[in-house]
Amino acid sequence: MEEKIAVYPGSFDPITYGHVDIIKRALKIFDKVIVAVAYNYNKKSLFTPQERVEMIKEALKGYTNVIVGSFGGLLMEYMKEANAKVVLRGLRATSDFEYEYHMASMNRSLSKDIDTLFMVTGKDYFFISSRTIKEVVSLGGSVEELVPENVSRKLREKFVQQKRGAK
């Protein structure tokens, strides 16, 4: 029987417990989840693609059906290479919907045989975003309950490095 594969693409700058929750729930539906870190598009990131991949691998070690990859071009091209037909995205609030709807529609016009599946973010995580996580840590706040331990450590290190560099 053909393996059921979902690709979960995103910036993951950095991965949060909201993302981890989506991945764990997807593993109950799919045989394999490929977490795909996007780079090389119009978004400035705090962590390099390699750092983001490594953080995700460490946060998800023990999950044998999770593969962590990265891509720099069109998601639909990556889907073909991965031989996957389902894109997985999390929806936190109605405000996410418009952006996601446009992206899913554009992707569908590029590849008619690929579908985007939305999973509603768990109630404990709907307010978490990578952007606000970075802001809180940069201002000295704690995000220990919102991101994996290795991620909160890396965030602290990154901002200490940045502050040293700015002096």
Whether the CB-CB separation of 40 and 70 falls below 8 Å is answered with no
Site for ligand PNS in 70-89 (CB under 6 A): 74-75
Say whether 19 is catalytic: yes
Contacting residue, 27, 82, 91, 103, with ligand PNS by CB under 6 A: 103
- Whether 92 is catalytic is yes
- The answer to whether residue 130 is catalytic is yes
Among residues 64 and 94, whose Cβ is nearest to ligand PNS? 94
Helical (H) or strand (E) element with 34: strand 32-38
- Examine residue 114 and tell whether it contacts ligand PNS (CB under 6 A): no
Give, for 20, the enclosing helix (H) or strand (E).
helix 17-26
Does 14 contact ligand PNS by CB under 6 A? no
CA distances from 6 to 16, 26, 106, 158, 162 (A): 19, 8, 18, 31, 36
Point out the catalytic residue in the list 19, 52, 89, 134: 19
Write down the catalytic residue from 32, 57, 85, 92.
92
Q: For the CA atoms of the chain, what is the radius of gyration?
A: 16
Residue 123 among the catalytic residues: no
Q: Active-site positions?
A: 19, 43, 92, 130
